[in-house]
Structure formats: structure tokens, C-alpha cells
Amino acid sequence: MRKLMVFNQVSVDGYFVDATGDMSWARRDDPEWMDFAAQNASGEGELVFGRVTYEMMAAFWPTPQAMQVLPVVARRMNQSPKIVFSGTLESASWNNTRLIKGDIVAQMRELKKKTGPGMTILGSGTVVSQFAQAGLIDDYQIVTIPIVLGGGRTMFGSVKQKLRLKLTNSRTFKNGNVLLCYETAT
């Protein structure tokens, strides 16, 4: 059975995007963080997005600017197989992307039953909420960025029941970012 993981960056007050949908505040350039980002992006697996995050990522990662600023991450983002869940997109043109429509929870259940590398959700708060609520997420990697936004969107906005998590690892970076790794508690 394939594992499904979430990797997201959140503000201290719990938002993964600000009130305008922007997440440029999460960028914290320093050598230690950039090295972690490059190493974290070098893994195998399929990337998973909702429509909004997909459109944002597809507009940036294939650009010369992305290759200049974060070449290792840009290569991984562009080469990796990707899934975008959307009821409104007609097509997905970013390299190696499959568009999946319909009942996303049922579709993810089927994807998890197959053999193959793990899957990682990036951004995509609506997708995270639905999959978390359905018990489909195995691991959470949440990076807390030392900033307070005062408003925005959380990735657990529509979760109706408590999700019990178990801390499996943590790491503090010199720039103030804190990585918290959780698995679903049994």
C-alpha cells in the first residue's frame, strides 16, 4: 500500500496561505534551509495538488527563474509525476501531470491500494482537509515559519473530527523555521 504524506509550511498562527492566497512569506533563504529543501525535494514519489496549488506551482517551477533560484527543487518539481485533483480544470499541461476528477476521496483510496512510491501533497488545503478527514494521510511534515499573518487559510479548515497525531521527528533551523513530523496516531 502506498503512503500519502503532506508537506506544508505554515505561519505561527496556523495559516498556509495569507488572506490574499499568497505564500511568498514562507520563503526563508539561508544555506541550511536551502540545503534541506534540496535534499527533501530529491526523493521519489508522486506529487499531489488541488487545482489552486497546481496552477500556482505550474506557473512558477517550469520558469527560468525557478531554475536559477532553486535548480535542484525545480528539476524535481518538473520531472516528478504529478496528480491534480480538480472538478473545474479541463486539462493539465505541466509535464508529467494526471488530472483526476470526481470523488477525490474514493480516487485516493484506489491510488493508495496500488504498489509504487509514496505520494506527497504540497499546499492544497482543501485536499488535505478532505483526505485527513477520511483518514488517508499517513504522515505530516509541517514547517512552522516564524511569522504571524493574522488571517488566511488553514489546511484543516473543513476537518470536523479530532485528528490524533504522534510526533516522530523535529528539527529547528537557524532561520527560525521548525520542522515537525507526525504520523497518524493509532
Q: What is the pLDDT of residues 85-108, one digit of tens each?
A: 999 999 999 999 999 999 999 999
Domains identified in the chain and CATH numbers: 4-184 (3.40.430.10)
Instruction: Report the chain's C-alpha Rg in angstroms.
Output: 16
Angle, helix 31-41 to helix 71-79, in steps of 10 degrees? 20
Tell me which residues of the chain have a pLDDT lower than 50.
Answer: none
Residue 132's pLDDT is 95
For residue 99, what is its C-alpha cell?
A: 488530472
Rounded to whole angstroms, the Cα distance separating 100 from 106 reads 11
- Identify residue 58 by its one-letter amino acid code: A
Q: How far apart, in Å, are the Cα atoms of 165 and each of 143, 162, 181, 186?
A: 15, 9, 9, 8
Asked if 180 contacts 144 with a C-beta cutoff of 8 angstroms, the reply is yes
Residue 151's pLDDT is 94
Helix (H) or strand (E) holding 130: helix 125-133
Query: What are the residues whose beta carbons fall under 8 Å from the beta carbon of 151, sequence distance 6 or more?
Result: 15, 18, 19
Residue 44's pLDDT is 75
Grid look-up 512569506 returns: 25
